[in-house]
Amino acid sequence: MTREITHFVNGRSVSGGSGRWGEVFNPNTGEVQAKVPLASKDEMAKAVETARQAQIAWAAVNPQRRARVMFAFKALVEREMDALAEMLSIEHGKVIADAKGDIQRGLEVIEFACGVPHLLKGEYTEGAGPGIDVYSMRQPLGVVAGITPFNFPAMIPMWMFGVAIACGNAFILKPSEKDPSVPVRLAELMLEAGLPEGVLNVVHGDKEAVDALLTHPDVKAISFVGSSDIAQYVYATGTAHGKRVQAMGGAKNHGVVMPDADMDQVVKDLVGSAFGSAGERCMALPVAVPVGEKTADELIERLVPAIDALRIGVSTDPDAHYGPVVSDAHRKKVESYIQMGVDEGAKLIRDGRGFELQGHEKGFFIGPTLFDNVTPKMRSYQEEIFGPVLQIVRAATLEEAARLPSEHQYGNGVAIFTRNGLAAREFAAKVNVGMVGINVPIPVPVAYHTFGGWKRSAFGDVNQHGTEGVRFFTKIKTVTQRWPSGEAFDQAFVIPTMQ
């Protein structure tokens, strides 16, 4: 019998009432392992009302006590790490090591949120005028929401709800319907950590549920991660309904390889960042840009045996480098991009299509794919593939190499591999991309900095987590005060001057 996943509202499991369901697959076998309810507009409205009522009391809890919940939650997630990683792996398809990394990077934002008493401190000016002091305070928005993608079902929800809840908001999480079990379990652990009922709610759904959040008047802010087209829709719809919106979109990250780079390290970094987690990462490195023909030829000569040595296996195989992609539809999409590259004239060096794992022939596996002689005019280069595909775009100079990511529609991340400090410094300063790695292939900032791309990789003005996250989930109130005492206050105080 197929397992039924439930919503999590007001501290308890809630069965779906819409009559609509989505299928949750095991990517290793291709079999349906569960079904997930797709919430109606009315179901979402009930969750929002629950959150609205719970938020009033939660906002009144002092920041130190809210931080204690985060400390307890961190300990519980660490206790449950193995079980959570297995749950995540079986629904998503990423190997256990990647699943644990997914959870750990989310926990780092929870650690940051444990410092919320410091993060919420305002500013104070004594004597701004005669007997007048001015101070500011950060206050929560109310009910806020997160819409998260399938590729990081632990990390990205924790990026969002950790900061939002620590700041005193209530949170509605609409996770991906492809791998929804870990987000529900995280909400259960938050309850166990001492979070009051109704402060964190998980409601599954599709576009109907998303639109319900984007248009509900009591939802004050939306944080989103997904494809760029949907991110643009979320941003436009949410802001049109008076909400704060941060909407992170797609990516096509480039890795520029200079002639003086440590080629052994470059190959390791490229193989791990292009093919790890089957390439299903917005910070993957699917484009390598070697500078100079000699660099390109050497890079490919070294890449081929490293790619051939990759082990593709079931997600629970401890020796596998990566597992299946999340769904059959996504596998077909990635394979269509491989065919597109062939049709456009790129040189296919390794073809991952048609890969079958013995005993798991119906699993959603794709072998590693390598293209050379890719050009900027090719559609397969211009668009995000989101699979285990590495494209080589050759450049004659560093200036030409830097123009590629700078002029691309996406501007999430970029990396440069070099021993030349001046070249790296100038590249980092001038490249038109939001996050830069210098000899770092996946430049995801640590939790106390912020995450966010440029161009069609992000819509909205405020990045995720770090101090930017605190800004996004709070509003500033400024108080100007004076206390009358004696003759000094006989005169009226009129803006902008004293009379």
CATH number for position 203? 3.40.605.10
Give the sheet arrangement for strand 369-372, strand by strand. Answer: 347-350, 369-372, 389-392, 287-290, 254-257, 413-417, 435-438
Q: What's the pLDDT band for 2 if we cut at 50, 70, 90?
A: confident
Same domain, 276 and 410: yes
pLDDT tens figures, 216-251 = 999 999 999 999 999 999 999 999 999 999 999 999
* Mean pLDDT, range 249-259, rounded to an integer: 97
User: Quick count: other Cβ atoms within 10 Å of Cβ 80?
Assistant: 17
| Cα 460 from Cα 451, distance rounded (Å) | 13
Same domain, 274 and 287: yes
Same domain, 191 and 326: no
Say what the pLDDT of residue 130 is.
Answer: 87
CATH number reported for the structural domain that contains residue 312 in this entry: 3.40.309.10
CB burial readout 36-68, b (16+ within 10 A) else e: bbbbbbebbebbbebbbebbeebbeeebeebbe
Active-site residue list: 282
Same domain, 230 and 352: no
Confirm whether 10 is domain-assigned. Answer: yes
Q: pTM value?
A: 0.94
Confirm whether 484 is domain-assigned. Answer: no
How many helices and strands in the chain, by DSSP H and E? 16, 25
Q: What total number of domains does the chain contain?
A: 2
pLDDT of 485 higher than 80: no
| Cα 310 from Cα 293, distance rounded (Å) | 26
Strands 31-37 vs 3-4: parallel, antiparallel or unpaired: parallel
Same domain, 97 and 185: yes
Confirm whether 164 is domain-assigned. Answer: yes
Same domain, 203 and 309: no
- Domain boundaries, position 261: 254-438
Average pLDDT of the chain is: 95
Say what the pLDDT of residue 131 is.
Answer: 87
Same domain, 276 and 243: no
Same domain, 145 and 70: yes
* Mean pLDDT, range 293-312, rounded to an integer: 98
Same domain, 101 and 129: yes
Say what the pLDDT of residue 484 is.
Answer: 79
Confirm whether 31 is domain-assigned. Answer: yes
Confirm whether 201 is domain-assigned. Answer: yes
Say what the pLDDT of residue 488 is.
Answer: 53
pLDDT tens figures, 335-349 = 999 999 999 999 999
Same domain, 152 and 270: no
Confirm whether 399 is domain-assigned. Answer: yes
Confirm whether 451 is domain-assigned. Answer: no
Confirm whether 444 is domain-assigned. Answer: no
Task: Name which of 116, 330, 471 is nearest 463 in CA terms.
Answer: 471
Say what the pLDDT of residue 492 is.
Answer: 62
Please identify, among 389, 407, 438, the residue that sits at the C-terminal boundary of a domain: 438
Same domain, 243 and 338: no
Same domain, 241 and 309: no
